[in-house]
Amino acid sequence: MPIINRVEKLREHVDEILLNKNNDRDRRMAYVHLYGVAQACAMIAKKRKVDIELAIMAGMLHDLYTYKRKDEVRHLGMEAIQEVIKNHRLDGTTWLHEVLPKWGLTTDEETKILCDAIQGGVSKDKKALELEKVVNDANVLQFYFYNPIDPEINFDEKRIEKLISEFGLTLQ
């Protein structure tokens, strides 16, 4: 029996959702952000000796609900979209608790760890806390490296510098 690459199977589910997005700009941003965060998660997890497979999965999933739901409420206007963004961590993990078992890619324990890490601030589990830090740091790096020269974006330079120096790099 062949080994199932859970990351690739997860990407198939993510791609199915993103390919059905109506807004081309949102679809592009969703791909760039989710895949970018997942790649940054892999790099950070490897360096910090955190479960790399779960880290990539968390990166792929962390904002998936937001991108999916924004299309569903777009016709209701900007307030509805802002509400989705405001509640995205809790609503997203509630949704993930429903869909991950259907996709059959994670154990119950892994689903809980992923959801706790994505929601943030809810778990005392060491694996979930480590994963939460990886996802949060990967998110920061993805936003920064997407366009580090954008004058409109107010980056936390000290945090960026600390993260970059963790990998032996500098901002100069």
Within 36-104, strands assigned E span none
Q: Is residue 59, in this structure, part of any structural domain at all? A: yes
Give tens-digit pLDDT for 115-154. Answer: 999 988 777 778 889 999 999 999 999 989 988 888 777 7
Percent of the chain with pLDDT over 90: 56
pLDDT of 1: 38
CA–CA gap between residue 13 and residue 33 (Å, rounded): 16
Stretch 30-46: mean pLDDT? 97
pLDDT of 4: 62
| CATH code, domain carrying 103 | 1.10.3210.10
Q: Is residue 171, in this structure, part of any structural domain at all? A: no
pLDDT of 153: 78
Which residue range forms the structural domain that includes residue 61? Answer: 6-165
Report the chain's mean pLDDT, rounded to a whole number.
Answer: 88
**pTM of the entire structure?**
0.89
> For residue 3, what is the DSSP state?
P
Considering only residues 122 and 96, tell me which one the structure prediction assigns the higher pLDDT.
Answer: 96
Task: Kindly indicate the confidence band of residue 169, based on its pLDDT and cuts at 50, 70 and 90.
Answer: confident
Q: What are phi and psi of 62, to 5 degrees?
A: -60, -35
Q: Is residue 170, in this structure, part of any structural domain at all? A: no
CB atoms within 10 A of CB 28: 12
Q: Is residue 111, in this structure, part of any structural domain at all? A: yes
Residues 6+ apart with CB under 8 A from 7: 53, 56, 57, 60
What's the domain count of the chain? 1
pLDDT of 7: 95
